[in-house]
Amino acid sequence: MSLNVCVLGSGSSGNAIYVGNDRTHLLIDAGLSAKQIALRLERIGIAPEALEAICVSHEHVDHVSGLRVFQKRHGVAVYSNAGTLRGMRRIPKNDEMKVRIFQTGAPFRVGEIVVEPFSVPHDACDPVGFRIRSERTCVGIVTDLGVTTPLVREKMRGCHALVVESNHDEDLLMEAPRPWSLKQRIRSRQGHLSNLAAARLVAECAGEGLEHVFLAHLSSDCNEPDLALRTVAGQLRLDGLGHIRLEVSRPDRVTPVWRHGEKTSVSAS
């Protein structure tokens, strides 16, 4: 059974990604408000109560701010590793949440979907990316990482769709009115990927089956959607990969829904 993917919203202000098929529905992160997550799920035809799990990549607020309220309202199971849970417990009232612990590196099953969490370099307690499989479809998600690693590239290879961080343009970051310490953090191995680094990651991992790439977590003041798209598309053309479709995700709207094997994505109603 094929997987469907929709980025409900992504950026410095909040991140949430839907992945599912006809029988099993998951959310990766819940960094939008509980109300917005529900509204955006409904826009793509998914009732909030239909979710079987929310898998958390790491504890930063832009990935978990709506988690506690959404679970309380809709009774959805939350999955994280122990490090992320410790980080989430530092946020007021999050100790009320019921969380199922997964082991980083060990695949686990939710309904008809297999979720494989793997380590990524980022300044959080124990951050992960996800490789998600359902029968003949595989999706890779890495939204916060400072540098690509052999493990990240291994887990992204063979996927049919990717959600990849394309956080900043290097020149815009250096010109931005931000403290030098923050710029150093963003550019560090524990920070965020630039447009060019995202392009290289996609090019290095692209196999014959890769159809679609969502560019995620764009900075509001150190990037521009058209610039991210041009940078990644230009690199892919140079590498003979111009056939891969690119989609820029935004914080205030859902992306079209990608479905494995369809030539075009399906817009939300």
Q: Do 214 and 249 meet the contact criterion of CB atoms below 8 Å apart?
A: yes
Domains (range + CATH), the chain: 4-259 (3.60.15.10)
* Tens-digit pLDDT profile for residues 63-79: 999 999 999 999 999 99
The whole-model pTM stands at: 0.95
Nearest to 215 by CA among 251, 240, 260: 251
* 234 burial level (CB within 10 Å; 0-12, 13-18, 19+): middle
Can you read off the two tokens belonging to residue 23? 């029988």
Q: Do 128 and 108 meet the contact criterion of CB atoms below 8 Å apart?
A: no
CA–centroid distance for 196 within its chain? 18
**Nearest 10 degrees: CA dihedral of 179, 180, 186, 189?**
-150
**What pLDDT band is residue 91 in, cutting at 50, 70 and 90?**
confident
- Taking all residues of the chain, what is their mean pLDDT, rounded to a whole number? 94
| Residue 187, C-beta contacts closer than 8 angstroms, at least 6 positions apart | 146, 170, 173, 194
* Tens-digit pLDDT profile for residues 27-40: 999 999 999 999 99
